[in-house]
Amino acid sequence: MDAQDSMPEAVLTEGETITAVGSESDMRTQMPADTVLEDLQGQTMIPAFIDPHGHFPDSGFIKLFRVNLSAPPLGTCKDMDTALLRLRDRAKTTPSGEWIMGVCFDNTAVAESRMPTRAELDSVSRDHPIWVIHASGHNGVANSNALAKQGITEATPDPVGGRFGRDPATGTLTGLIEGLSAMGPLGDTTFLIDEIQFWQGFATARDEYLSFGVTYGQNAWANADLLARFSSLPADQDPGFDLMILPIAELEPSLSQGSDAMDGFANPHFTLGPRKLFADGAFQLQTAYLRTDYHCPSVPNAPRGQPYTSAAELTAQVQVLHDMGFQIHCHCNGDAGADLFLDAVEAAQTINPREDHRHTIIHGQLLHDDQFERIARLGVTVSFFSAHIYYWGDRHRDTFLGPDRAARISAAGSAQRYGVRFTLHNDASVTPTRPIHLAHCAVNRLTATGALLDADQKISVLSALRAQTIDAAWQVFQEDKRGSIEAGKLADLVILSRDPLEVPTRLPETTVVKTIRRGKVVFQHAARTDV
C-alpha cells in the first residue's frame, strides 16, 4: 500500500516497528541472528485495517448492555412483535425503575415499516423507562416513564434541528424524539454506561475489531463526558487498541482555549482528531437533505429532508474551526447537505486560505459530478459509507431515492475519475466493522438481494483496500505512522487467508488469519461463524 503499490517478498520488524522491507534474500542478510521467522505459506499479508469513521466502542456496549433490535440482513428482528418481546424479556430481568434501552431498530426493515409507539412501549412496562433508538442514531421512541424521567412534556418546545412527535389532533406526545438536539443525553454513546461498563465495552469492541484486522479505530462523535472517559486511562497503560477521537464541534473554542483547555490525551494510544459537524440526518428517516424530493416521501412538509442547521450557522461554525487550524469532518448524507458544507468550506477558504486542510465529507451518500469537481478544487476529501450499498441499496432504489439516484450511491468510481482521495467506512455500530465485506460492497456493488448498483461506480480491490489502509491514514494525517508496509512505520499487519486481488467476486470468502498490532500477535484465527 505504498505509493508504488509494491508487493515485496519479506518484512523485517523489531519491537513495534517495521525496520526493513524488500526481497527475502535482503531481509535474511539484514536480520539479527535471533530473528523469529514466519512463513506465510501462500497467504497474503497487508497493512492492518484502519476504520476511517465509526463510533468505537459502541458495538461493545450493544453486545453487553443493550437490547439488539437489528432487522435482516443485520439481525433477526423482523417485526414489531419480535422487538416488543425482546424488550419484555429484558424487563423481566431488570429491577423496577431501571432503564431498558433497545438499539439498532430500523423502521424501514421491519414488517410494519414504522417506529414503535409510546403506547406499545408502555405495554412492555410502565415501571421501567424504555428508550428505543433508531439504527441511524438520529431518532428514537420513549415510553411515558422515560419521557417523564427526561422532563419532556407537551409544553416542551422543539429545539433547533429536532422535534418531539405529537398527535396532530390532540398535541399529545407520541414518544418519538427526532434529531440529536432533541434527544440530548438519550443520543449519547455513554447513556446508561458507568465507568466500569465503559471499559468492559471497550474491551469487547477491541477484541471484535482486532478479530477483523482493525488496529486503529475512531470515535467520531465525542462529547465532554466521552472525552473524560477516554482521558481517565493512565498514560502508561496500553488499552490494546489505538484510537482517534473526534470532539463535537460545539466544544470549541473552549476545549482548546482557556484555563481548562484540553490539548490531547495523556495516554499515547488515544489521539484527538478532527472536529465533528452535522449538515443533515439519515436516509432511513428521510432527514438526509436532498436537492430534489425523496422517491416516496414520508415526512409531512419535508419531502426533501431537512438540514440540521441553517446555512449561515454551518458557515459560521466551519469558519471558526477552519481559522483555529482544525480539520473538520462533517456528516453529509444528502446532496443538498453536501452543498451546505461545500459552500461553508469555500467561504472559509476565501477568507483564510489553507493549503492542506483535508476537510472531509462523511458518508457522501449522494454526490454528483459537479460536486466531485468542486470537492477536488477545494481540497476536500470524502469517506463513503459504502455498506449502504448492501444493507439499504434495495430500499434506496425502491423507497428513498428511486432507481436513477440509488444507482450511484457511494460513488467511489466518480471520485477516482475526479482525482478525489477517499476512504470507506462502516459507521459502526450502524453496520458492523467488517473491512473485507466493506471492500466487497465498493468493488462489486451488490445489494442484499444481489441487485447491481451502477457498474460504472465500481472500484478495484486494491483501491478498496487502500481506502481502508494508507488512504485512511492519510485522511487523518497519520500517513507517516501507519497504513502501509514501509520501514519506520508501526508493525500493524494482517494476514489473510487468500490473495484478495484474485477474483474480486470471491472477496467475501477472504478471512483474517492473524492480526499483528505493534509487532505482537493480538488475534489468531479459530473456527468462526461471524464473518
User: Is 126 a member of any domain?
Assistant: yes
Using the Cα atoms of residue 350, residue 343, residue 429 and residue 433 in order, give the sign of their dihedral: negative
Q: What is the pTM of this model?
A: 0.94
Q: What is the pLDDT of residue 150?
A: 95
User: Is 151 a member of any domain?
Assistant: yes
With beta carbons less than 8 A apart as the criterion, state whether 182 and 159 touch.
yes
User: Is 150 a member of any domain?
Assistant: yes
Q: What is the pLDDT of residue 190?
A: 87
User: Is 242 a member of any domain?
Assistant: no
What is the CB-side half-sphere exposure of residue 293 using CA atoms within 13 A?
9
Per-residue pLDDT of the chain in tens (531 residues, 90 and over written 9) = 999 999 999 999 999 999 999 999 999 999 999 999 999 998 999 999 999 999 999 999 999 999 999 999 999 999 999 999 999 999 999 999 999 999 999 998 999 999 999 999 999 999 999 999 998 888 999 999 999 999 999 999 999 878 999 998 999 999 999 988 899 999 888 899 999 999 999 999 999 999 999 999 999 999 999 999 999 999 999 999 999 999 999 999 999 998 778 888 999 999 999 999 999 999 999 999 999 999 999 988 899 999 999 999 999 999 999 999 999 999 999 999 999 999 999 999 999 999 999 999 999 999 999 999 999 999 999 999 999 999 999 999 999 999 999 999 999 999 999 999 999 999 999 999 999 999 999 999 999 999 999 999 999 999 999 999 999 999 999 999 999 999 999 999 999 999 999 999 999 999 999 999 999 999 998 754 454
Q: Give me the domain span that covers residue 76.
A: 71-134+139-178
Q: What is the pLDDT of residue 529?
A: 47
User: Is 454 a member of any domain?
Assistant: no
3-state secondary structure of 435: helix
First to last CA, the chain: 24
User: Is 104 a member of any domain?
Assistant: yes
User: Is 166 a member of any domain?
Assistant: yes
**Amino acid letter for position 183:** M
Backbone φ and ψ of 129, nearest 5° = -70, 125
Number of domains, the chain: 1
Place of cell 483501491: 463
Radius of gyration of the CA atoms of the chain, in A: 23
User: Is 77 a member of any domain?
Assistant: yes
Place of cell 466521552: 226
